[in-house]
Amino acid sequence: MLANSNAPGRSAETLPQRFEDLPNVGRATADDLRLLGLQHTRDLLGRDPLHMYRDLEHLTGSRQDPCVLDVFIALTRLAAGDPPHPWWHYTAERKARYGDARDASPRQRQQR
Q: Residue 55: which CATH number?
A: 1.10.150
- Indicate whether 82 belongs to any domain: yes
- Whether the per-residue pLDDT at 84 is higher than 50: the answer is yes
Given a cut of 80, is residue 46 above it in pLDDT?
yes
pLDDT at 4 over 50: no
**Pairing outcome for strands 7-11 and 3-4:** antiparallel
pLDDT band at 109 (very low <50, low <70, confident <90, very high): very low
CA atoms of 33 and 92, how far apart (whole Å): 23
Q: Does residue 34 fall inside a structural domain? A: yes
Q: Is the pLDDT of residue 22 over 90?
A: yes
Q: Residue 23 sits in which domain range?
A: 16-98
Is 60 among the domain residues? yes
- Report d(CA 67, CA 12) in Å as an integer: 24
